[in-house]
Amino acid sequence: MKIVTKLTIIATAATFMFGGINLTWGNAYTNELVDGADVLTATHSFGVWMDINDSMAFGWEGTGLKAGFDGPAGTQMRLGFDPLDANGDIRTSIGMGRAWWTSTGDGWGTDLSTAIDWGVAGAGKGDFTLTMNLGFGF
């Protein structure tokens, strides 16, 4: 039984060792209700994405979990889940992202990207978040 456990751990670790990892850092702009008025606010955004395969990625960005799937014309379709926002509500989102510039060198790969996510359910229903990121991948 010990050998099966060790082989399972090694096989699981190997899948992450050779997958792509992308760190993102940028700004997130969203509309919030402040004193009865809809106000555009800006916050920082940080994320970690892991490539599952050539067309799917999973990670954490901003305040929640995201899953990304390749879309048409080089875009990325995004599904989001934020377990607890500031009010303690569960939020879900759907969105689209695009990398506008990607480096073509060896080692660290960098990219500039933009994504927009719409709140589907929860406290953020109908709200949007526009994120502009600088990504570092390896």
Question: Which CATH number does the domain housing residue 35 bear?
Answer: 2.40.128
Question: Distance (Å, rounded) from C-alpha 36 to C-alpha 20?
Answer: 44
User: What is this structure's pTM?
Assistant: 0.76
In a domain, 133, yes or no: yes
- Split into its structural domains, the chain has a count of 1
The per-residue pLDDT for 14 is 66
In a domain, 15, yes or no: no
State CA 122 to chain mean position distance: 19
List the one residue out of 136, 135, 133, 137 whose CA is nearest residue 26.
Answer: 133
pLDDT, block means (10 residues), the chain with 138 residues:
80 67 90 80 90 88 89 92 72 91 80 90 75 88
What range does the domain containing 77 cover?
Answer: 20-137
